[in-house]
Chain A
Amino acid sequence: MATVTLRNLVKAYGKTEVLHSINLDVANGEFVVFVGPSGCGKSTTLRMIAGLEEVTSGEILIGDKVVNHLEPKQRNIAMVFQNYAIYPHLTVRKNIGFGLRTSKMSKADKEKRIDEVAGLLSMTDYLERKPAQLSGGQRQRVAIGRAMVRDPSVFLFDEPLSNLDAQLRTQMRLEIKKLHQRVGNTIIFVTHDQVEAMTMADRIVIMKDGHIQQIGTPAEVFHRPANTFVAQFIGAPSMNMLDARWQGGRLHLAGQDLTADLNLPDGSALTVGIRPDDLIVSETPGLFSGTINVLEPLGTETLAYVDIGNGYEVIAKASGRMPPKLGAHVDLVADLANMHLFDQNGKAIS
C-alpha cells in the first residue's frame, strides 16, 4: 500500500498542453475516482501514474519516491484496462499468473497465490478456461485478478466497466467496492460515468480540459459544487441553471423576485442552480409555475420538464404514483436553502 502524490503535473504533446499543473494527494488505502467528459485528461493522468506516458513536467510520487523516470514494472502498480487486456490464447490461470512471471516466488507458491486470488473473485471453477469461453463480467474479473495477484501498492483502473451492460456494471461496481474494503489497497479509478464516481469513491476528482475542477467526497461535490461545470456534471438529471440578478436587496430570477440574505454588490449577475430533486411539482403556489412539456416516468418518481416562461425549461420532480398530466399547468416549490449560487465566471458563491 502506498500514497500517490501529483505535483504540478503537466503533459504536453508537442506544443499542445493537455494537462495543466495537476496537484493531488491520494492517501494510503484511499479509493479516488477521476471523472470527467471525454478528452478531459483523466486517462492521460492515470497513464502517467502507470508509467505508460512520459511526464512533461512536474512530479509523480508513489510512497515518498519520485517515479517520473521509473519503468512501469518498477513502480509496483497494477492496471486494469478498458478492454481488459487479457490474452485470448492463454487460460484464466495463465492470464492471472502472467503478473507473477518475474516474481521470485516458488512455483507452488505462485499456484497457491493464483488459487487464492481466483477464490477471492469466485473464478476458481473457470481457471482452465480461455477468455473466449467467459462472459464480459468474468473477463473483467480475470483482468482484476491479474492486477491483484502481485499485491501491488496501487491499483489503477482505466474505465474498466464501460464495456459492460448496465446491469453487470452495477454488479461489478459493487464487487470492486467490496474488494477494496477487503484488501484495502490504494485505488485510482478513471470513469466518465458520474454515477460510478459517486457510488465508489472515497474522494472524487472532477476534471475538465486538463484542469481539476474540484476534489472532494461524493457528498461535497454533490452538495457544494465548486462551479457550474461540477454542478451540472454531477447528479442525474442535470442541475437546472437559471440566470439571476441581485438588485435592491432582492434576487430577480426568471421573472420572480425573491427575498434573500446575500452579501453581494448591488447589480451582480448570478447563475442560480436548483437540482431537479429540490424542485417539486406541487399543488400549492411556489417559486415558479408553468406548463409540462414532457414527462419521464421513472417508477418511484416522475421527471417533469416544465416551461416556466422567460425562455426557461426546468426539470422538476413529481410523484411516481400520481404523476401530473402532460400539458397541465403546475406550480413548482423550491427551498431557497437548497439553491446553489454561482458568480458570472461560474464559481460558487458561498
Chain B
Amino acid sequence: MNLYSRLSIERKRTVWAWAFLSVPIFFYVVIRFYPTADAMVLSFQNWNLLGARSWAGLDNYVRLWGDPVFWKVFRNTFMYLILGTPISLVISFVIAYNLDKTRFLHGTLRALYFLPFLTTAVAMAWVWRWFYQPVPIGLFNNILSSVGIGQVRFLNSTSNALPSVLAPAIWAGLGFQIIIFMAGLRAIPVSYYEAARIDGVSNWTILREITLPLLKPTIVFLVVFSSIGFLRIFDQVFNMTTNDPGGPLNSTMPLVMMIYQTAFSSYSMGYAAAQTVVLFTVLLVVSLVQLRILRDR
C-alpha cells in the first residue's frame, strides 16, 4: 500500500488540514504579509513608482513629524474615531433596543435600517452632497429656510465639514451595528428579564445591570470593528469633497486620503508607506487598548 494509507488517523487528519490550510496561507503570504513587509521596508526608502528605490533612512518619518498637514490629518482621523464610534454605537443600540421590542412591521423596519449598509458609498455620498447644498438645491437648507432658519454651510465651512462628512458615514454603518446589537439582545434569555420584573426592579436598572453587561461581548466587537472603520474612513470623504479633496483647508482629510494623495498624486511612495506604517500602528494600538479595557476582569 502507499505511504498515505499507512499513516495513523491523526496524521491523515493533519495532512488534510494542512492541504486545505495551504491555500489561504499562500494567499495571505503573497497578498497580505509580503506587501505589508514590503511597505515597511519602503517606508525607509524613496521611490517614485517607476525608478529605482533608494535608501532614505528615517527621512520619511522625520518629514512626517515635521509636516503640519500630517498633524492636521492625524487630528481629523481621531475626530472621526472619537465622534463616530460612540455616536454610531449609541444610536444603533437605541434603535436595536426599541426595534427588538417592536412587533409591528418588525421585518420591514429592520430591512429599512439595513438598507444603507447595502448601498454603495459613492451613491450615498453624492445623495448626501445634494442634501447639503445651499438653497434652492439642497434639501436640508430648503427645510431650514422654510422654517425661517438661516443657511448652514455644511461642506464649505472648516468647522462644519467634518461632522457633515461623518454623518452619512455613521448612517451607512448603522444597519450592520443594529443587526449585531439585535443578535446580541436576542441571545439574552427572556427569563432574565422576567425574573427582574418579578423582583420589581426598574427598566433603567434592568438596562444598566442586566442588558448592557450581558451585551459586553457584542459591544467589544462593535467598538473595535467600528473604530477600525472610522480610522480607515476614505470613500465618504473622497466622494463628498471631490472638488476640493479633503477640504476645505484639509479640514476633512483623513489619514487614508493623505496616503492616497501622497502615493498616487505626488508619487512619493516611500513617504506614503511611512504614513501607512503610522496608520497600521495606530490601528493596532487602538484595537489592543480597547480589547484590554473592555475585556472581562
Kindly state whether residue B108 has any CB partner on chain A within 8 Å: no
* Complexed CA–CA distance, A102 and B206 (Å): 12
Interface size class of B (residues with CB under 8 A): 10 to 19
With contacts A88-B214, A101-B205 known, is A81 near B200, CB below 8 A? no
Q: Distance in Å from the Cβ of B184 to the closest Cβ of chain A? A: 14
* Complexed CA–CA distance, A282 and B222 (Å): 73
Indicate if the CB atoms of A50 and B189 lie closer than 8 Å: no
Kindly state whether residue A150 has any CB partner on chain B within 8 Å: yes
Indicate if the CB atoms of A78 and B198 lie closer than 8 Å: yes
* Complexed CA–CA distance, A99 and B209 (Å): 13
Can you name the residue of chain A whose Cβ is closest to the Cβ of B193? A85
Main secondary structure of the interface of A (DSSP, over half): loop
Q: Which of chain A's residues have a CB closer than 8 A to the CB of B200?
A: 71-74, 101-102
Contact of A101 among B189, B191, B199, B213 (CB under 8 A): B199
Kindly state whether residue B201 has any CB partner on chain A within 8 Å: yes
Interface size class of A (residues with CB under 8 A): 20 to 34
* Complexed CA–CA distance, A52 and B210 (Å): 18
With contacts A87-B210, A89-B213 known, is A99 near B191, CB below 8 A? no
Kindly state whether residue B196 has any CB partner on chain A within 8 Å: yes
Kindly state whether residue A205 has any CB partner on chain B within 8 Å: no
Can you name the residue of chain B whose Cβ is closest to the Cβ of A100? B199
Instruction: Give A52-96 interface residues, CB cut-off 8 Å to B.
Output: 52, 71-74, 77-79, 81-83, 85, 87-90
Q: Which of chain B's residues have a CB closer than 8 A to the CB of A150?
A: 199
Indicate if the CB atoms of B192 and A87 lie closer than 8 Å: yes
Indicate if the CB atoms of A81 and B195 lie closer than 8 Å: yes
* Complexed CA–CA distance, A77 and B197 (Å): 11
With contacts A87-B210, A89-B213, A101-B205 known, is A73 near B189, CB below 8 A? no
Q: Which of chain A's residues have a CB closer than 8 A to the CB of B205?
A: 101
Instruction: Give B169-207 interface residues, CB cut-off 8 Å to A.
Output: 189, 191-192, 194-201, 205
Can you name the residue of chain A whose Cβ is closest to the Cβ of B213? A89
Indicate if the CB atoms of A85 and B199 lie closer than 8 Å: no
Can you name the residue of chain A whose Cβ is closest to the Cβ of B199? A99
Indicate if the CB atoms of B213 and A72 lie closer than 8 Å: no
Q: Which of chain B's residues have a CB closer than 8 A to the CB of A78?
A: 198
Indicate if the CB atoms of B199 and A81 lie closer than 8 Å: no
Indicate if the CB atoms of A98 and B198 lie closer than 8 Å: no
Q: Distance in Å from the Cβ of B297 to the closest Cβ of chain A? A: 11
Can you name the residue of chain A whose Cβ is closest to the Cβ of B210? A87
* Complexed CA–CA distance, A167 and B189 (Å): 27
Indicate if the CB atoms of A81 and B191 lie closer than 8 Å: yes
Interface string of A95-118 (1 = CB under 8 A from B): 000110110000000000000000
Indicate if the CB atoms of B197 and A85 lie closer than 8 Å: no
Interface string of B56-83 (1 = CB under 8 A from A): 0000000000000000000000000000
Can you name the residue of chain A whose Cβ is closest to the Cβ of B216? A89
* Complexed CA–CA distance, A63 and B214 (Å): 37
Q: Which of chain A's residues have a CB closer than 8 A to the CB of B194?
A: 50, 52, 72, 79, 81, 85
Q: Which of chain B's residues have a CB closer than 8 A to the CB of A74?
A: 200
With contacts A85-B189, A87-B210 known, is A73 near B197, CB below 8 A? yes
Can you name the residue of chain B whose Cβ is closest to the Cβ of A94? B209
* Complexed CA–CA distance, A81 and B197 (Å): 13
Q: Distance in Å from the Cβ of A103 to the closest Cβ of chain B? A: 9
Can you name the residue of chain B whose Cβ is closest to the Cβ of A158? B191
Indicate if the CB atoms of B201 and A101 lie closer than 8 Å: yes
Q: Which of chain A's residues have a CB closer than 8 A to the CB of B191?
A: 81-83, 85
Contact of A85 among B192, B214, B216 (CB under 8 A): B192
Indicate if the CB atoms of A71 and B199 lie closer than 8 Å: no
Interface centre among B189, B191, B192, B213 (most CB of A within 10 A): B191
Contact of B197 among A71, A82, A101, A146 (CB under 8 A): A71
* Complexed CA–CA distance, A79 and B197 (Å): 10
Indicate if the CB atoms of A73 and B195 lie closer than 8 Å: no
With contacts A81-B191, A83-B191, A85-B189 known, is A98 near B214, CB below 8 A? no
Q: Which of chain A's residues have a CB closer than 8 A to the CB of B210?
A: 87
Q: Distance in Å from the Cβ of A14 to the closest Cβ of chain B? A: 13
* Complexed CA–CA distance, A88 and B189 (Å): 11
Q: Which of chain B's residues have a CB closer than 8 A to the CB of A79?
A: 194-195, 198
Contact of A73 among B198, B214, B216 (CB under 8 A): B198
* Complexed CA–CA distance, A146 and B194 (Å): 13
* Complexed CA–CA distance, A98 and B200 (Å): 10
Q: Which of chain B's residues have a CB closer than 8 A to the CB of A146?
A: 195, 199
Indicate if the CB atoms of B198 and A102 lie closer than 8 Å: no
Q: Distance in Å from the Cβ of A72 to the closest Cβ of chain B? A: 4
Q: Distance in Å from the Cβ of A154 to the closest Cβ of chain B? A: 11
Instruction: Give A106-165 interface residues, CB cut-off 8 Å to B.
Output: 146, 150
With contacts A52-B194, A88-B214 known, is A98 near B199, CB below 8 A? yes
With contacts A83-B189, A85-B192 known, is A102 near B199, CB below 8 A? yes
Q: Which of chain A's residues have a CB closer than 8 A to the CB of B197?
A: 51-52, 71-73
With contacts A79-B195, A83-B191, A98-B196 known, is A89 near B201, CB below 8 A? no
Q: Which of chain B's residues have a CB closer than 8 A to the CB of A77?
A: 198
With contacts A98-B201, A101-B205, A102-B200 known, is A89 near B214, CB below 8 A? yes
* Complexed CA–CA distance, A90 and B192 (Å): 12
Q: Distance in Å from the Cβ of A77 to the closest Cβ of chain B? A: 7
Q: Distance in Å from the Cβ of A249 to the closest Cβ of chain B? A: 59
Q: Can you show 11 pairs from A to B with CB atoms below 8 A apart?
A: A72-B198, A72-B200, A74-B200, A79-B194, A79-B198, A81-B195, A85-B189, A90-B209, A98-B196, A98-B201, A101-B200
Q: State the 8 A-B residue pairs at the shortest beta-carbon distance, nearest first.
A: A73-B200, A85-B191, A85-B195, A81-B191, A72-B198, A99-B199, A89-B213, A102-B200
Chain A interface residues toward B at CB < 8 A? 50-52, 71-74, 77-79, 81-83, 85, 87-90, 98-99, 101-102, 146, 150
Beyond A51-B197, A78-B198, 9 additional pairs, beta carbon < 8 A: A52-B194, A52-B197, A72-B200, A73-B197, A81-B194, A81-B195, A83-B189, A87-B213, A88-B214
